[in-house]
């Protein structure tokens, strides 16, 4: 289950997070929002160490919805170091979202491998 974030906890959980955060802006009345939950939970299970998933009820958090200029729901924002890196909105269905999530997953899996390789090289240099 995704962590539910509000205006009160957004800065700590999203903007100050040490890892990238996929923010799912949704509302209880949004049918497509409910439809994409299984894809998001699958994404979370596959990427939980590289990317955190949180949910924001746009109806209850109007300031956040306004700040990020939401035009439609669901809207997904990938936030890294307090900066929006990707914005997913207006997708036509589950397949569009699945492809977008795969692209994000590949980007961050590759980045994670690069960081691991850099750490290994640093350790080799220190021990030499």
CA 76, distance to chain mean position in Å, is: 7
Residue 100: name the closest of 80, 117, 75 by CA.
75
User: Using N-to-C axis directions, what is the helix angle for 31-47 and 94-127, rounded to 10°?
Assistant: 20
Catalytic residues: 30, 33
CA 104, distance to chain mean position in Å, is: 9
CA distance 53 to 17: 11
């Amino acid at each position: 289950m995704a962590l539910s974030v509000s205006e009160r906890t957004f800065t700590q959980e999203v903007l100050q997070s040490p890892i990238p955060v996929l923010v799912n802006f949704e509302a209880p009345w949004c049918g497509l929002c409910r439809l994409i939950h299984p894809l998001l939970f699958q994404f979370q299970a596959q990427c939980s160490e590289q990317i955190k998933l949180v949910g924001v009820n746009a109806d209850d958090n109007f300031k956040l919805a306004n700040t990020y200029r939401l035009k439609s729901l669901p809207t997904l924002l990938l936030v890294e170091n307090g900066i929006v890196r990707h914005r997913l909105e207006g997708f036509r269905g589950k397949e569009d979202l699945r492809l977008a999530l795969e692209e994000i997953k590949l980007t961050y899996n590759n980045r994670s491998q690069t960081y691991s390789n850099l750490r290994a090289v640093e350790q080799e240099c220190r021990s030499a």
